[in-house]
Amino acid sequence: MSDFAIITDSSCDTPNSYVQDLNLGILPLSFILDGKTYHNYPDNREMSPKEFYDKLRNGSLATTNAVNVQQALEELEANLKAGRDVLVLAFSSGLSATCSSFQMAAAELAPKYPERKLFVVDTLAATGGQSILILTAGKMRAEGRSIEEVRDWAEANKSRVNTWFTVNDLFFLKKGGRVSAATAIVGTMLQIKPILRMDENGKLATMQKARGRKAALETLVKLAEERGEELDKYPVFISHSDCMDDAQWVAGQLRTRCGAADVIINDIGPVIGAHTGPGALVVNFIGKNTAQV
């Protein structure tokens, strides 16, 4: 088994059981809710997703903070001091400064530990999309693949990670500047549900609109049918913000219609959920290049 550390951040929303099984290092991003700062750990030790979304439904608003350079320095150096090479799979640079923090920390530490290998991959992904790369990297390491092989696979395949999603409340997108106030008001009145994606630069882009929740979920399944590749080989993630029934319906459709073999349902944690609100549903899979839409 190759002995190198795989480090990431909590925007991946990787279920804690996988974090433990694959021995992943997860740096927590933080969020501020009702004037108090919390850290988003994989085991939800400070606040569960359910409690978080209930607070949002009751009118609370949350803001988020990226992993800072000092956090990154401490985590990376602890592994380097222990004699381990390090591969970082970071939250999309298109959405957060977290990747930049890892890159700055790596640049500072590389001259200090010239005998060690230290690589940072900008995944251009988040939540379940990021988790696809992380889980595959963990399995490749367990198979004995070198840190360079795993890094090269992640760099070559991150553009194949498709992340398509819908939200239930347009006002959270308005707050984040993704839609205008007028669009949010009219869309809510007409039950318009946007279909968004992570683009080739790791940023959010609105692609389609659906009338009603059921139509939006059906659109996500159709996109997986049209764009999915090797769904029997790589994990498919259904990420959701407190809408498990919808997640289970979509998972069943992906198994029967798309041949998805390993469908994992995961909670969208508070850091991503602060921007999507309750009721977001995300389909993440390996497929056609994200630049080809």
Segments making up each domain of the chain, as ranges = 4-158, 160-286
Q: What is the mean pLDDT of residues 132-157?
A: 98
Q: What is the pLDDT of residue 26?
A: 97
Report residue 234: phi and psi, to 5°.
-105, 150
Q: What is the mean pLDDT of residues 282-286?
A: 98
CATH classification for the domain delimited by 160-286, as one of 3.60.15.10, 3.30.1180.10, 3.40.50.300, 2.30.110.10: 3.30.1180.10
Alpha helices in the chain (DSSP H): 16-21, 49-57, 69-81, 98-109, 127-142, 147-157, 170-175, 181-189, 213-227, 244-258, 270-276
Q: What is the pLDDT of residue 180?
A: 57
Range of lowest pLDDT (180-184, 218-222, 273-277): 180-184
Helices (H) and strands (E) in the chain — how many of each? 11, 13
Q: What is the pLDDT of residue 288?
A: 98
What average pLDDT does the structure give for the chain? 93
Say yes or no: do domains 4-158 and 160-286 share a fold.
no
- For 228, which DSSP code? B
Q: What is the pLDDT of residue 207?
A: 83
Q: What is the mean pLDDT of residues 157-179?
A: 81
Instruction: Name the architecture of domain 4-158.
Output: 3-Layer(aba) Sandwich (3.40)
Question: From CA 188, how far away is CA 176, in angstroms rounded?
Answer: 16
Range of lowest pLDDT (114-123, 127-136, 169-178, 263-272): 169-178
Sheet holding 161-166, edge to edge: 204-211, 192-198, 161-166, 281-286, 236-240, 263-267
Q: What is the mean pLDDT of residues 211-227?
A: 96
Q: Which amino acid is at 207?
A: M
Q: What is the mean pLDDT of residues 247-262?
A: 97
Provide the whole-model pTM. 0.94
